[in-house]
Amino acid sequence: MTATPRSYWFAKFFECVYLLIAIYDCLMMMWGTLLYKLFTSFGDVSFARLFTWIIIGMLIFSVVYSIYWNQKSKEEGFNSEIRHAFLRGVMRYFLAFQVSAYGFAKILKTQFGHVYMRDNTPVGKLSGFDLTWNYFGHSYTFAIILGLLQIGGSVMLLFRRTTLLGTCLLLPIMLNIVLINVFYDIAIGAFINSIIITTGLLYLLLLRWPDIKPVLFKEVVKSPLRLSFAKPVLKLLVIVLAFYSIYRYVVAVPSSAFAGKWKIQQFIRNGKTIGENDWMNGAQNWCYIYIEDDGRISFCANPYVFEANRAWFGRYSYNAKQKTFDVHFDGGTNNNTTRVKISNYNGKQMQWDTKVYDDTLKLKLVKE
């Protein structure tokens, strides 16, 4: 007789682990602060050791009980279904609580809330966590929509009839959150929690695989239009053309060896050295030059933050034979091109000699 998913040992083990995780989470919610203070009074190592032993104990108990359960389920008259129903019910309710809590946190602004300190922090200095928080917190409307989706999906998990729909709604959201937690260096606790929630949702989805499989792999009615040879070619052509549409742009605009943020270490205008604080006296007293891969260039006087309203913008092209930049400033005429002679370039520093309007400039640049 073919084994059903409910007869697998791993299903029993996973459901036992999830029950213990739910119990542990509830206990930590009620007494977590007290336990943390108690064990950290003996040092941070004590709390970490306690947490490690709790995890090991949960795994050992789950392995032992699931093996016992698996053996007992082979006996006639042993009701394994009621245990599955109970454990999966706990899983659904636990997931609904966890995800909806995150949803309410977004609506009530305890997540993605405004942090005024970050307003004056340069973007380049923000951590991955701060960038994520600022990005998603920029629009409160978006936070509300995301929160409502999480709450709505959680409500669906509370009812067996709508569990599959709730799982399909929440799983893409949680997978996205897991990727953000991994690649944007979000706190380890948030990452672990997202993994627990996502694996639970995946498990609930796999339980309904017999219902999902016919929908995903249902045999379709053959089209009366017969293109047996051309159809594979057309399918491949769609992907190839999509790749080429972007690749031709990459080839047309290759990466520039000069791209980057360049600090003006020495600035001489008409034989006179520009001082460190002269940037406050005029937007033409640049401190930084920003060279982009796509041919854009910008000059900023403020050494601390990029001021778009005071910056000079333009486009450049590099002549490799003559080792020169041709810079065309925004707002200038087509004939008003500034030629820059580049010397002593080694990838980290270079010197510019040029004439901008009526001023003769000599710049020493260092790449940061």
Domains along the sequence of the chain with CATH? 5-216 (no CATH), 260-367 (2.40.128)
CA distance between the termini of the chain: 68
pLDDT, average across residues 356-366 = 94
DSSP 212-276: HHHHHSPPPPPPSS--TTHHHHHHHHHHHHHHHHHHHHHHHSPPPTT-EEEEEEEEEETTEEPPT
pLDDT, average across residues 115-131 = 83
The share of the chain scoring above pLDDT 70, in percent, equals 90
pLDDT tier for residue 187 given thresholds of 50, 70 and 90: confident
> pTM score, two decimals?
0.78
CA nearest neighbour of 98 among 151, 156, 166? 151
Tell me, what's the pLDDT at 334?
Answer: 56
Taking the C-alpha atoms of residue 283 and residue 309, their distance in angstroms, rounded to an integer, is 9
Residues 6+ apart with CB under 8 A from 252: none
Taking the C-alpha atoms of residue 78 and residue 63, their distance in angstroms, rounded to an integer, is 19
Quick check: 69 pLDDT over 90? no
Work out the number of other CB atoms within 10 angstroms of the CB of residue 70: 17
pLDDT tier for residue 32 given thresholds of 50, 70 and 90: low
